[in-house]
Structure 1
Amino acid sequence: MNSKITLLRDYYNFLFGLFDYLQAPALAFARLYIGWIFFKAGLSKIDDWESTLFLFEYEYVVPFLSYEVAAYMATIGELVLPVLLAAGLLTRFAAAGLTIVNIVAVIAYLDISLAAINMHIVWGLALAAVMLLGGGKFSLDNKLKIS
């Protein structure tokens, strides 16, 4: 009986030990994917700034901020934080900042579809994983010994 338990334990440890090796590439993929999503959103804002200001004035209801300040903050956040996230530099800070951007985006757009909400949830979960686990082995934080 004891040898069967030992054998099961060894198989279990081997199988789930593989997850330790997959953590670094999974975190790198999450950082790059989320970074790309938000960076593209930032690029679209600067591509047509007049439309961006129009949307922030008439479509998006950002609490406590004027539409101009909200537009600038969202654009800067979507252009700077994704670069930090993708590089794995100040990763947890970047993920926390993008989490705020993500939440405000859902709150600010009153006509958001269920599918869009679901995408924001997926992005939020990926950002939460990065905040909890850090940038991983393939990050500048790891090279610079930044937690």
Structure 2
Amino acid sequence: MPAPLDTLASHAQSLALLGARLYVAQVFFLSGLTKLRDWSSTLALFNDVYQVPLLPPALAAYMGTAGELALPVLLVLGLASRFAGAGLFVVNLMAALSLSADDFSPAAQAQHSLWGVLALVILLFGAGRWSADRFIRVA
């Protein structure tokens, strides 16, 4: 690829990765805030509705909420982005697996699929050039 096109593609990739990071971060951070706002309801949902495999409901609630609040901050900063992408991929997967078929509408499936693919893209490709990861690596 000619150098100018390669440079343009590199900038476009970084812009796309920044957009993916910010979008996924917003979705999960807002979800975490919702859980914090009514913790008793969150615990009830994890006890009665969400069937997280292998974890007691209270531990799943704490871990899921902590992941939804901490990992998005890393994504926004572009710090430890592959780790944050992997973590949110797992949080998203557990959320999808914990819902029964009756509670998992086609629209919800599509949303979880989008979030999972974007988290996987961040895991595989990193944060891009507009990130703390890039600054730390270069510095």
The answer to whether structure 1 residue 130 and structure 2 residue 106 are counterparts is no
Relative to structure 1, is the Cα distance of residues 99 and 20 closer, same or farther in structure 2, using a 3 angstrom cutoff?
same
Letter paired with 1:70: A
Q: Tell me which stretches of 4 or more aligned residues in structure 1 moved more than 4 Å.
A: 13-17
The structural deviation recorded for 1:125 is 1.1
Superposition map of 1:16-95 within 5 A: 18-95=8-85
- Percent of pairs identical after alignment? 45
Partner of 1:28: helix, strand, or coil? helix
How many residue pairs are counted as aligned between the two chains? Answer: 136
Give the counterpart of 2:93 among 103, 108, 119: 103
Larger radius of gyration: 1
The answer to whether structure 1 residue 142 and structure 2 residue 118 are counterparts is no
TM-score, normalization by structure 1: 0.86
Cα distance in 2, alignment partners of residues 17 and 25 from structure 1:
12
- Mark the runs of 5 or more structure 1 residues left unpaired by the alignment: 1-8
User: Cα RMSD (Å) of the superposition?
Assistant: 1.7
Cα distance in 2, alignment partners of residues 84 and 143 from structure 1:
14
- Mark the runs of 5 or more structure 2 residues left unpaired by the alignment: none
